[in-house]
């Protein structure tokens, strides 16, 4: 009950911020439309709608890090969090209250991306539902990063690191905008040690119904999600104690 009240407040804070709508929904949709238009004129396999949509969906999820980190860092910067620390809310209430509200936002964002993709010719199939379901572990990974950065950075630093650096890095290293084989070498090897390309390849496999191919990628995503979540919880508790 207490946690749900706090989570409800966090949902309202996020969705009432106009930047959320611009970046969280608008930007991925613009990219799908733009790259589909390019693909229509200069056909590139990478930008075919069944390849592009899973990548853009994962790219859109990188904004969840920005949303959660911004919310936490702003709360830390104001006295609101200090006030809430003096109430009967427990540490677990705070962590769940910051994490859970972003899951439905992530799912809604993915659903909208797929609806636009249908309009652009993506075949309607049950595999889309699996793709949307498996968005959940990926969004937990990005939310955990948000909790982690929000616990150590102020809101201006969050804008730079999560808003610019992380969204770009996770996009370049995901194989969404260009085939990693084109660069190859150390860049490709490095990309495959991070979770972003695995998240995209898992989503692509699900959408194409190639379920046997999801497993190595799912473990990478889950492994990183657990590591980031544990780190985030430790850092959040540390700043809570410092407060």
How many residues in the shown chain lie near another protein by CB under 8 A? 25
**Does 100 sit near another protein (CB under 8 A)?**
no
Closest distance to another protein from the beta carbon of 26 (Å): 19
Closest distance to another protein from the beta carbon of 11 (Å): 11
Burial of 101 (0-12, 13-18, 19+ CB in 10 A): buried
**Does 185 sit near another protein (CB under 8 A)?**
no
Nearer to another protein, 85 or 211 (CB): 85
**Does 23 sit near another protein (CB under 8 A)?**
no
Nearer to another protein, 93 or 203 (CB): 93
**Does 16 sit near another protein (CB under 8 A)?**
yes
Phi, psi dihedral angles at 12 (to 5 degrees): -60, -45
Estimate the crossing angle of helix 2-15 against helix 91-99, to 10 degrees. Answer: 40
Q: What share of the chain is helix, strand, coil (3-state, %, to 5)?
A: 85, 0, 15
Q: Which stretch binds another protein (CB under 8 A): 13-21, 154-162, 169-177, 190-198?
A: 13-21
Largest Cα–Cα distance in the chain? 60
**Does 89 sit near another protein (CB under 8 A)?**
yes
Q: Which stretch binds another protein (CB under 8 A): 51-59, 89-97, 159-167, 199-207?
A: 89-97
Write the CA distances from 237 to 94, 142, 230, integer angstroms. Answer: 10, 19, 11
Show the tokens assigned to 180.
């990693």
**Does 12 sit near another protein (CB under 8 A)?**
yes
**For residues 223 and 59, what is the distance between their CA atoms, to the nearest angstrom?**
19
**For residues 66 and 109, what is the distance between their CA atoms, to the nearest angstrom?**
14
**For residues 196 and 169, what is the distance between their CA atoms, to the nearest angstrom?**
9
User: Within a 10 A sphere around the Cβ of 218, how many other Cβ atoms?
Assistant: 18
Show the tokens assigned to 88.
């009967």
Nearer to another protein, 14 or 214 (CB): 14
**Does 154 sit near another protein (CB under 8 A)?**
no
Closest distance to another protein from the beta carbon of 20 (Å): 10
Q: Per-residue x/- mask for another protein, residues 59 to 88, rule CB under 8 A?
A: -------------------xxx-xxxxxxx
Summarize as ranges the residues that interact with another protein (CB under 8 A).
1-2, 4-6, 8-9, 12-13, 16-17, 78-80, 82-90, 93, 243
């Amino acid at each position: 009950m207490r946690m749900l009240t706090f989570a409800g407040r966090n949902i309202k804070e996020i969705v009432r911020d106009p930047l959320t709508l611009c970046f969280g929904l608008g930007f991925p949709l613009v990219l799908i439309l733009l790259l589909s238009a390019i693909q229509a004129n200069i056909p590139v396999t990478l930008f075919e709608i069944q390849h592009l949509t899973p990548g853009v969906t994962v790219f859109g999820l990188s904004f969840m890090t920005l949303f959660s980190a911004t919310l936490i860092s702003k709360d830390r910067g104001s006295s609101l969090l200090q006030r809430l620390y003096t109430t009967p809310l427990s540490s677990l209430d705070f962590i769940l209250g910051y994490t859970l509200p972003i899951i439905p936002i992530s799912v809604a964002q993915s659903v909208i991306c797929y609806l636009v993709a249908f309009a652009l010719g993506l075949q309607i199939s049950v595999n889309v539902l699996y793709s949307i379901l498996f968005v959940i572990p990926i969004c937990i990974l990005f939310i955990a990063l948000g909790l982690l950065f929000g616990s150590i950075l102020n809101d201006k630093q969050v804008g730079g690191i999560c808003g610019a650096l992380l969204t770009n890095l996770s996009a370049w290293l995901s194989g969404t905008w260009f085939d990693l084989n084109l660069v190859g070498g150390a860049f490709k090897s490095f990309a495959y040690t991070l979770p972003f390309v695995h998240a995209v390849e898992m989503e692509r496999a699900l959408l194409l119904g190639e379920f046997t191919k999801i497993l190595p990628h799912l473990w990478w995503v889950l492994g990183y999600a657990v590591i980031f979540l544990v780190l985030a919880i430790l850092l959040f508790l540390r700043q809570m104690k410092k407060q």
